[in-house]
């Protein structure tokens, strides 16, 4: 896999390149919008990581160009916008401009990899599919969790927590990612609210005999797994 990183912080780019190489990802790094345009015209990338504050302008202008199809081969390339601050207005602007996702700096490589996996999933891959973990069956189309044919009664936020954890089952999901998934952009997040949802969800999964557990990693996030 080959990814284009448009980022003017050399140190970060080099650290990221080293980290991604370990996962068999080749990182092409360019520090400016002008060089990014050249790189995109030269070769097709599987995804683009795009910083916003660049020496020759806002990364979103490149995104607009990409989506308008000037470099036809790169028109649909998944773009993850990197934002210095995780401000809501920045995220919304990025998503509105056609970004597939955003990531607030600083971020963990593991989280970047998870986001990449998500944006690189082929369309339709997740649609109408039933995912099984332990004894739990989850229907993505109808957004329904069941154990042995019996549907679990989950309110919206518990459902969102379960979906988010399930999508990345076996991997740690950062607390911030869960909060974003559960609360969206509009709602205010109350501290500990997430933990309350998790604990109710845990209880329901245990009562239903789902055979999966939500493992908490203090200060980092949660991980959903089916114990062997």
Which structure tokens are listed for 192?
């500990």
Site for Ca ion in 199-218 (CB under 5 A): none
Q: How far is CA 77 from CA 18, 65, 109, 119, in A?
A: 23, 12, 20, 10
Q: Binding marks (x or -) toward Ca ion, 5..44, rule CB under 5 A?
A: ---x------------------------------------
The correct pick among 14, 18, 53, 199 for binding Ca ion (CB under 5 A) is 53
Output Rg (C-alpha) for the chain, integer angstroms: 19
Q: Measured from the CB atom, is 8 or 101 closer to Ca ion?
A: 8
In the complex, minimum distance from the CB of residue 53 to Ca ion, in angstroms, rounded to a whole number: 4
Q: Are strands 172-174 and 221-225 parallel, antiparallel or unpaired?
A: antiparallel
In the complex, minimum distance from the CB of residue 11 to Ca ion, in angstroms, rounded to a whole number: 12
Distance from C-alpha of 17 to C-alpha of 3, rounded to nearest angstrom: 10
In the complex, minimum distance from the CB of residue 55 to Ca ion, in angstroms, rounded to a whole number: 8
Stretch of residues binding Ca ion (CB under 5 A), selected from 47-55, 105-113, 149-157, 210-218 = 47-55
In the complex, minimum distance from the CB of residue 60 to Ca ion, in angstroms, rounded to a whole number: 13
Residues 98/79, Cβ–Cβ less than 8 Å = yes
Residues 92/185, Cβ–Cβ less than 8 Å = yes
Stretch of residues binding Ca ion (CB under 5 A), selected from 11-19, 51-59, 173-181, 211-219 = 51-59
Coil, strand or helix at 149:
coil
The correct pick among 28, 51, 100, 111 for binding Ca ion (CB under 5 A) is 51
Residues 131/166, Cβ–Cβ less than 8 Å = yes
Strands (E), the chain: 2-6, 26-30, 47-51, 53-54, 57-58, 79-83, 101-104, 130-133, 136-139, 144-147, 150-151, 172-174, 213-217, 221-225
**In the complex, which residue's CB is closest to Ca ion?**
53
Determine if 85 is a binding residue for Ca ion (CB under 5 A).
no
Q: Measured from the CB atom, is 28 or 51 closer to Ca ion?
A: 51
In the complex, minimum distance from the CB of residue 65 to Ca ion, in angstroms, rounded to a whole number: 18
In the complex, minimum distance from the CB of residue 103 to Ca ion, in angstroms, rounded to a whole number: 13
Q: What is the DSSP letter of 31?
A: S
Q: Measured from the CB atom, is 51 or 179 closer to Ca ion?
A: 51
List contacts with Ca ion (CB under 5 A).
Answer: 8, 51, 53
């Amino acid at each position: 896999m080959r990814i284009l990183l448009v980022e003017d912080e050399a140190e970060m780019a080099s650290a990221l390149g080293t980290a991604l190489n370990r996962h068999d990802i080749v990182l092409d790094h360019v520090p400016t919008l002008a060089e990014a345009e050249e790189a995109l015209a030269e070769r097709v990338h599987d995804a683009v990581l795009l910083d916003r504050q660049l020496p020759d302008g806002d990364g979103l202008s490149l995104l607009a160009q990409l989506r308008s199809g000037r470099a036809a081969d790169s028109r649909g390339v998944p773009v993850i916008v990197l934002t210095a601050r995780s401000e809501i207005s920045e995220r919304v602007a990025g998503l509105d401009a056609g970004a597939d996702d955003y990531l607030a700096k600083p971020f963990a490589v593991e989280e970047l990899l998870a986001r990449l996996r998500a944006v690189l999933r082929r369309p339709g891959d997740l649609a109408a599919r039933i995912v099984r973990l332990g004894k739990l069956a989850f229907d993505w189309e109808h957004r329904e969790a069941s154990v042995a044919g019996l549907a679990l009664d989950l309110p919206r936020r518990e459902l969102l927590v379960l979906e988010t954890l399930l999508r990345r089952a076996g991997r740690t999901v950062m607390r911030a990612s869960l909060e974003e998934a559960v609360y969206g952009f509009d709602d205010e997040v109350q501290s500990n609210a997430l933990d309350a949802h998790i604990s109710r969800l845990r209880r329901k999964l245990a009562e239903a005999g789902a055979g999966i557990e939500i493992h908490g990693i203090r200060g980092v996030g949660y991980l959903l797994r089916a114990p062997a």
